[in-house]
Amino acid sequence: MDATIKTYLDGIKDCGTGRFEMHRVLRQHHHVPPRPVADVRLDGGRLCLDFVNTIHDRYALEVEDYLQQLQRFLEWCIRAGALHSDDNVHAPRSARQRAALMREVEGLRDHLHALFAARIDDVRAPADAVRGLDRWVHRAWAGQSLGADGRLHWRKDVRDARLPLKRIVLDALDLLGSTPASRLRRCANTSSCGWLFLDTSKNQRRRWCAMETCGTIDKIRRYRHGSREARARRDGLRG
């Protein structure tokens, strides 16, 4: 990890209990303690989808929010590739600034989920989500300038903790503009999971966010259901 980013994260850790409070997503769910960021799966196939999937089991009663505080958000950005080792980002130091940033993180995540879900369900996207993404897109474009190499580069004055959000936004814009709707999928475990993914399989029949998780759970469920039915048939024959 780059020394600047490590110092940045360590500085947040050392702010003290009185100066830094965990910022939680306000939802009508019970929140469970999140797992270590290193254990978070990245199964979406795109940066923007992995960002949306930082709500674990979106439809469950107990929700695990991977990005419950600024430190975790930055660690996840490094893990997912939204923050690079040479970015030299600047940390928001005050509690008010950190809380404002986390509200932006949650707001963008909700807007992107609404936009992708609308694309999957073939319905009109919510107007507030469209406006929200449009504002972020313009912020991202405004933060870039053309270099002597003919490529766009992030300006030094925008290299702050919002930089990974701008990368996520531009990835979402590319996904929405270049990817057929049929390739954007929702995990078939709609009773709890709700994760989204880009189906790049050869036959385009991927159903699960990952076979190792929701796919395996479904296999176990079907096996147990089949076993119960078999026992019921045997009991019926005996009766």
pLDDT at 3: 45
Q: What is the mean pLDDT of the chain?
A: 83
pLDDT at 219: 60
pLDDT at 27: 46
- pTM for the model stands at 0.80
Instruction: Name the residue ranges covered by the structural domains of the chain.
Output: 3-207, 211-239
Residue-wise pLDDT tens digits, 67-91? 999 999 999 999 999 999 889 888 8
User: How long a stretch of residues is the chain?
Assistant: 239
pLDDT at 58: 85
CA-to-CA distance for 108 and 112, rounded, in angstroms?
6
What does the pLDDT average to over 95-107?
96
**Contact between 176 and 166 (Cβ < 8 Å):** no
- 3-207: CATH number: 1.10.3300
pLDDT at 11: 46
Least trusted range by pLDDT, from 25-39, 93-107, 111-125: 25-39
pLDDT at 22: 28
**Contact between 145 and 155 (Cβ < 8 Å):** yes
pLDDT at 220: 58
Range list of H helices, 194-239:
216-238
